[in-house]
């Protein structure tokens, strides 16, 4: 080895290091290799030494690849690299060689065979398909020389280009980034074999354009043998190479390992055997594959996002939310997706600023460690809300845009009910919101509409089945349920499932006995036990109690029913708690809608509607990707109310986000209303379903709400605040901190550190702020921090972000509040006493009857989802502060078996809200010229 070469070049010239460690990138594809005659190898004529045995070299390369792959698979057991070979032609000689070597090394190979006369467009089409296939880690071409073109070769993704044919790979090598590129296995094989034959090899590796001109061209004039790895050898001027220099072209037909003499009269076999090159090149290609797989795995591991954050220029006074939203131009959602590590085939774009994320991402990142998991909850709020969504958004803006920590916000999708009712939108507020806020608040990608459609399809199926069973004989009913189509009569898949449930082991419809026909055809639903209601995503108090079936065609099958708001539907709860499409289908099938006349549960599966429900929900299951004002990522998915349902966004959104942020990142998810409702359900229901363990709780408080709990006048939406809330009043704040202290204690029941986030309003004084933070710390909060994200964006929540990061790094002592094996009544009592502070509970006769029925049906071991007012720790909305010694009345109990919880209704809790005297829709309008929405807030 020449001592005149730079040290880095000499290191690259050690092919044996490649065999030992699997890391040597080999000689450059686009460079040339100088072989200088000397004492070690004599002349280049017919009497040159015979090449060494190839088998030992190949074995060493394959064994090295196998060992490296084994090490990778120790940490990633499911990982197995796949090499795709696109072949256009009938030369199958290399298939067997590649297959055998790949199997020995532990790789998989897939061949894509095209007709020999395939054109450029067809080949490129196949290349682009393989590029986007996340299962494939390497791509090689076996096509005719006439098919090679710059367009074809550069269609390959450089990271999958294991033959090093793209200009990107060449460019990386020329810049000296040899560890980032792949090099032609054929050229490497030729160099390796020439060296083994006894030649002393000098490798010319160019690290810059100046070095190329000054050093490389000068030495090229002195070369005895030049090996070309360039896809464009004709572009190398003849004057660069002396006339008597031997030139070998290693590029053309590279997959087959064939070499061509680039100089007249050169016989390749006099130097090295094509068979030797063919076999060794195949082995080195396998080695490149292992390197490709290793790079791919490294990219899946935690890394800081290369996120382009959007700049904020906060104004004072702070404009309206919609003005702020429109003043910021969001990034294209596909750009955001790429920045956070999503692949092109893992998103489905809806317009410019939102997209659905495919669940296949979880499989790709299954070996990735989760980030930190943080819940945002709150104290008992005023009817105006205290800004949990705003705090959530401000916190992730601070973490990502200002502290440069990967973080994700996971929010619920807002219901149309509050958007057009009292509270308005739920995209956050001020300079801490999700954009575009109109799209966030209105329809989004249609998930709530899908739930409405699925829910009401099931409701229609229930009443329709009762109607047909009441008006038909067993035989007529059976013949219609299992009709003959084109002379063939057979059960559908879901009907076969029902037969299995009934213990009928028959698949021929004509083989059932009369008794079996009756059992199969009749569900015998007891109308008085129907718990499944129709839903609508609008606050409509006049649908709380209705009568259905009054038309003459319904033949007297009328009954009393009701509408719930869509977000109270069990299908919404299923969406929020499921972890896969298969799991969702099973949960939908398990949903209990009524009991039969023998007291046994009737399910959606019994009604035969499971598959149809899954079809309606197949897109809704995918989380929706959006962004904050500062360009940080947000998942918006599922929207169950916390006072009616379990009040948390989806398990799937959280799980995907935890993988995307990586081990050092943060996922901040929000629970609805106070810690006594949304947080309790998050821990006892959502964490049980997901298996995820929270690291910290952020408890949101406001001076306004604390003054209300301290005895301040009532707060009513749409009515101006009294002076007690706009002027300093230390005593009211101090008295109201009892509610904050109680909510901190509730969080501590679960063993999770609490950081209090005081959402500061412009009317709050320094004395009030300092008092709240001091009392919160005395109550056991890990820290208490005033937050100014509403007026300053993420920069205003940097102190909160630092406190949360420190708290989340503490060891979690998380525990559930109760054992699910306890009787239903005892679980309800535990929540009432430990969380709400009740003296005891009181069950209505109907509630006790339902509990007895669900226990008898085998549902007694499910967690509890209390439906209770969010405006008080008790069941009475006007009882503020910390009510004591009250009896909590349970008026009714429902079972959400598909979602997986029992659902007690506290007091007069309604599952269909009503509109106020002056709803928000008075202010909402559309500018018909610009098509801009007006009046949202």
d(CA 454, CA 321): 33
- Give me the residue label for tokens 């396998």: 286
φ and ψ at residue 69, rounded to 5 degrees: -65, -40
Is 329 an active-site residue?
A: no
User: Which one is catalytic: 245, 390, 610, 702?
Assistant: 390
User: Which one is catalytic: 423, 544, 688, 802?
Assistant: 423
Task: Note whether 426 and 414 are within 8 A (CB).
Answer: yes
φ and ψ at residue 717, rounded to 5 degrees: -60, 135
Cα(first)–Cα(last) distance of the chain, in Å? 73
C-alpha Rg value of the chain to the nearest Å: 35
Instruction: Characterize 105-114 residue by residue with b for buried, 16 or more Cβ atoms within 10 angstroms of its Cβ, and e for exposed.
Output: bbbbbeebbb
d(CA 862, CA 151): 60
| Bond before 436 cis per omega within 30 degrees | yes
Beta partners for residue 596, in sequence order: 525
Helices (H), 301-446: 321-326, 333-339, 360-364, 388-397, 416-420, 437-441
- The pTM of the whole model exceeds 0.95: no
d(CA 234, CA 885): 93
d(CA 204, CA 220): 9
Closest by Cα among 339, 367, 365, 361 to 348: 361
φ and ψ at residue 565, rounded to 5 degrees: -75, 145
**Whole-number Cα distances in Å, 776 to 57, 701, 772, 779, 872:** 70, 10, 6, 5, 20
d(CA 377, CA 754): 10
DSSP 412: P
d(CA 645, CA 97): 61
User: Which one is catalytic: 673, 683, 886, 901?
Assistant: 673
Task: Note whether 733 and 667 are within 8 A (CB).
Answer: no
Q: Kindly report the CA angle at 132 between 126 and 137, in degrees rounded to 5?
A: 95
* Inter-axis angle of helices 766-778 and 730-748, nearest 10: 30
φ and ψ at residue 531, rounded to 5 degrees: -110, -10
| Bond before 640 cis per omega within 30 degrees | no
For the chain, counts of helices (H) and of strands (E): 35, 33
User: Which one is catalytic: 412, 622, 742, 827?
Assistant: 412
φ and ψ at residue 28, rounded to 5 degrees: -70, 140
d(CA 704, CA 222): 85
- Give me the residue label for tokens 């943060």: 666
Quote the distance between the C-alpha of residue 443 and its chain's center: 21
- What are the structure tokens assigned to 547, written together? 């009568």
Is 10 an active-site residue?
A: no
Q: Note the pLDDT of residue 211.
A: 36
User: Which one is catalytic: 240, 761, 814, 937?
Assistant: 761
DSSP 806: H
φ and ψ at residue 684, rounded to 5 degrees: -80, -25
Is 408 an active-site residue?
A: no
**What are the strands, taking DSSP E only, across 104-253?**
108-114, 138-142, 201-203, 225-228, 246-249
The dihedral over CA atoms of 37, 41, 44, 49, expressed in degrees to the nearest 10, equals -170
Length of the chain, in residues: 937
d(CA 775, CA 764): 16
Q: Note the pLDDT of residue 205.
A: 36
Is 683 an active-site residue?
A: no
The sign of the dihedral angle between the CA atoms of 107, 358, 574, 697 is positive
Is 135 an active-site residue?
A: no
The sign of the dihedral angle between the CA atoms of 354, 359, 363, 365 is positive
Q: Note the pLDDT of residue 7.
A: 38
Q: Kindly report the CA angle at 490 between 486 and 492, in degrees rounded to 5?
A: 115
- What are the structure tokens assigned to 446, written together? 């249609």
Is 490 an active-site residue?
A: no
Q: Note the pLDDT of residue 491.
A: 95
Task: Note whether 230 and 167 are within 8 A (CB).
Answer: no
User: Which one is catalytic: 160, 331, 372, 388?
Assistant: 388
Task: Note whether 651 and 686 are within 8 A (CB).
Answer: yes
User: Which one is catalytic: 426, 454, 642, 784?
Assistant: 642
Task: Note whether 866 and 873 are within 8 A (CB).
Answer: no
* Inter-axis angle of helices 581-590 and 570-577, nearest 10: 150
**Whole-number Cα distances in Å, 417 to 455, 490, 624, 669, 920:** 17, 45, 20, 22, 10
d(CA 910, CA 862): 23
- Give me the residue label for tokens 């044996």: 16
Instruction: Sort strands 260-261 and 592-595 into parallel, antiparallel or unpaired.
Output: unpaired
Is 390 an active-site residue?
A: yes
Task: Note whether 379 and 776 are within 8 A (CB).
Answer: no
Is 597 an active-site residue?
A: no
Task: Note whether 183 and 27 are within 8 A (CB).
Answer: yes
The residues, ordered by sequence, that sit 6+ positions from 428 with a Cβ below 8 Å of its Cβ are 321, 389, 390, 392, 393, 394, 434, 437, 628
d(CA 227, CA 368): 43
d(CA 588, CA 575): 9
- What are the structure tokens assigned to 907, written together? 């007091």
Mean pLDDT by runs of 10 across the 937 residues of the chain is: 34 30 29 28 37 71 91 84 86 77 89 88 91 86 79 89 84 71 79 66 37 46 60 59 62 49 47 73 90 81 85 93 91 96 92 95 89 97 92 98 97 79 73 91 91 96 95 94 92 94 94 95 95 91 89 85 92 96 97 95 96 96 98 95 87 97 96 93 96 97 97 88 95 97 97 97 96 98 97 97 96 93 98 97 96 95 95 95 96 94 88 71 72 69
**Whole-number Cα distances in Å, 48 to 51, 198, 228:** 9, 10, 21
The dihedral over CA atoms of 530, 531, 536, 538, expressed in degrees to the nearest 10, equals 130
The residues, ordered by sequence, that sit 6+ positions from 594 with a Cβ below 8 Å of its Cβ are 462, 525, 526, 527, 529, 530, 531, 532, 601, 602
Q: What is the DSSP string of 187-207?
A: HHHHHHHHHHTTPPEEE---S
Closest by Cα among 6, 25, 3, 28 to 14: 25
User: Which one is catalytic: 790, 859, 886, 901?
Assistant: 790
- Give me the residue label for tokens 């790979």: 169
- What are the structure tokens assigned to 495, written together? 């009907």
């Amino acid at each position: 080895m020449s001592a005149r070469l730079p040290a880095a070049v000499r290191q690259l010239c050690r092919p044996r290091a490649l065999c030992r460690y699997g890391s040597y990138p080999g000689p450059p594809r686009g460079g040339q290799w100088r072989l200088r005659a000397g004492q070690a190898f004599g002349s280049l004529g017919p009497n040159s030494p015979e090449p060494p045995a190839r088998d030992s070299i190949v074995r060493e390369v394959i064994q090295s690849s196998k060992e490296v792959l084994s090490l990778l698979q120790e940490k990633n057991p499911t990982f197995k690299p796949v090499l795709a070979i696109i072949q256009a032609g009938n030369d199958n000689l290399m298939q067997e060689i590649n297959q055998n070597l790949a199997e020995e090394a532990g790789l998989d190979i897939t061949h894509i065979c095209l007709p020999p006369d395939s054109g450029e467009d067809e080949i490129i089409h196949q290349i682009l398909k393989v590029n986007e296939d996340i299962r494939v880690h390497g791509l090689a071409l076996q096509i005719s020389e006439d098919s090679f073109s710059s367009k074809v070769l550069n269609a390959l993704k450089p990271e999958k280009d294991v033959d090093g044919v793209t200009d990107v790979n060449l460019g990386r090598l020329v810049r000296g980034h040899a560890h980032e590129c792949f090099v032609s296995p054929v050229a490497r094989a030729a160099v390796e074999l020439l060296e083994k034959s006894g030649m002393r090899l000098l490798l010319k590796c160019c690290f810059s354009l100046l070095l190329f001109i000054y050093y490389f061209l000068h030495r090229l004039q002195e070369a005895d043998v030049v090996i070309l790895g360039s896809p464009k050898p004709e572009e190398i001027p003849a004057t660069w190479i002396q006339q008597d220099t031997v030139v070998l072209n290693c590029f053309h037909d590279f997959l087959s390992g064939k070499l061509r003499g680039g100089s007249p009269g050169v016989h390749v076999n006099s130097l090295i055997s094509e068979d030797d090159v063919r076999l060794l090149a195949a082995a080195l290609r396998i080695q490149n594959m292992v390197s490709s797989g290793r790079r791919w795995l490294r990219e899946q591991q935690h890394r800081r996002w290369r996120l382009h954050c959007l700049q904020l220029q906060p104004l004072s006074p702070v404009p309206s939310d919609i003005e702020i939203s429109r003043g910021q131009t969001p990034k294209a959602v596909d750009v955001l997706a790429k920045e956070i590590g999503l692949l092109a085939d893992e998103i489905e774009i809806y317009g410019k600023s939102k997209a659905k994320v495919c669940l296949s991402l979880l499989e790709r990142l299954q070996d990735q460690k989760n980030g930190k998991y943080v819940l945002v909850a709150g104290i008992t709020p005023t009817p105006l809300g205290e800004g949990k969504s705003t705090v959530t958004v401000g916190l992730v803006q601070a973490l990502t845009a200002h502290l440069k920590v990967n973080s994700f916000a996971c929010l619920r999708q807002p219901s149309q009910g509050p958007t057009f009712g009292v509270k308005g939108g739920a995209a956050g507020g001020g300079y801490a919101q999700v954009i575009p806020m109109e799209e966030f608040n209105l329809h989004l990608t249609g998930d709530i509409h899908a739930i409405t459609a699925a829910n009401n399809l099931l409701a229609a199926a229930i009443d329709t089945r009762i109607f047909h069973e009441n008006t038909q004989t067993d035989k007529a009913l059976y013949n219609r349920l299992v009709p003959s189509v084109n002379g063939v009569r057979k059960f559908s898949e879901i009907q076969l499932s029902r037969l299995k449930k009934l213990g009928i082991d028959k698949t021929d419809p004509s083989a059932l006995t009369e008794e079996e026909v009756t059992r199969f055809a009749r569900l015998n639903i007891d109308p008085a036990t129907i718990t499944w209601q129709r839903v609508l995503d609008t606050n409509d108090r006049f649908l709380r109690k209705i009568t259905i079936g009054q038309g003459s065609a319904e033949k007297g099958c009328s009954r009393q029913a009701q509408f719930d708001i869509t977000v109270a539907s069990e299908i919404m709860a299923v969406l929020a708690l499921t972890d896969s499409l298969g799991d969702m289908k099973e949960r939908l099938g398990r949903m209990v809608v009524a009991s039969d006349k023998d007291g046994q549960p009737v399910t959606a599966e019994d009604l035969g509607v499971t598959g149809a429900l899954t079809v309606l929900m197949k897109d809704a299951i995918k989380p929706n990707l959006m962004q904050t004002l500062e360009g940080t990522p947000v998942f918006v998915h599922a929207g169950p109310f916390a006072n009616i349902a379990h009040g948390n966004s989806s398990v799937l959104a959280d799980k995907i986000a935890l993988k995307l942020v990586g081990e050092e990142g943060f996922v901040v998810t929000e629970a609805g209303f106070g810690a006594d409702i949304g947080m309790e359900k998050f821990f006892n229901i959502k964490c049980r379903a997901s298996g995820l363990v929270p690291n910290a709780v952020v408890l949101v408080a406001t001076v306004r709400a604390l003054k209300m709990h301290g005895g301040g006048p009532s707060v009513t939406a749409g009515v101006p605040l009294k002076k007690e809330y706009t002027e300093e009043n230390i005593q009211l704040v101090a008295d109201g901190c009892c509610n904050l202290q109680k909510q901190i204690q509730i969080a501590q029941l679960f063993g999770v550190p609490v950081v209090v986030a005081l959402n500061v309003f412009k009317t709050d004084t320094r004395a009030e702020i300092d008092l709240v933070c001091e009392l919160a710390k005395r109550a056991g909060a890990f820290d208490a921090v005033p937050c100014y994200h509403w007026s300053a964006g993420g920069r205003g929540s940097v102190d909160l972000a630092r406190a949360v990061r420190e708290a989340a790094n503490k060891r979690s002592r998380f525990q559930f509040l109760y054992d699910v094996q306890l009787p239903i009544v005892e679980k309800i009592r535990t929540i009432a006493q430990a969380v709400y502070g009740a003296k005891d509970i009181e069950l209505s006769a109907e509630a006790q009857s339902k509990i007895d029925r669900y226990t008898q049906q085998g549902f007694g071991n499910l967690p509890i989802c209390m439906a209770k007012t969010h405006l008080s720790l008790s069941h009475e909305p006007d009882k503020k502060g910390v009510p004591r010694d009250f009896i909590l009345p349970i008026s009714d109990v429902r079972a959400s078996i598909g979602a997986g919880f029992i659902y007690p209704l506290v007091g007069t809790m309604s599952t269909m809200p009503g509109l106020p005297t002056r709803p928000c829709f008075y202010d909402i309008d559309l500018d018909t010229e610009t098509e801009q929405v007006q009046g949202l807030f």
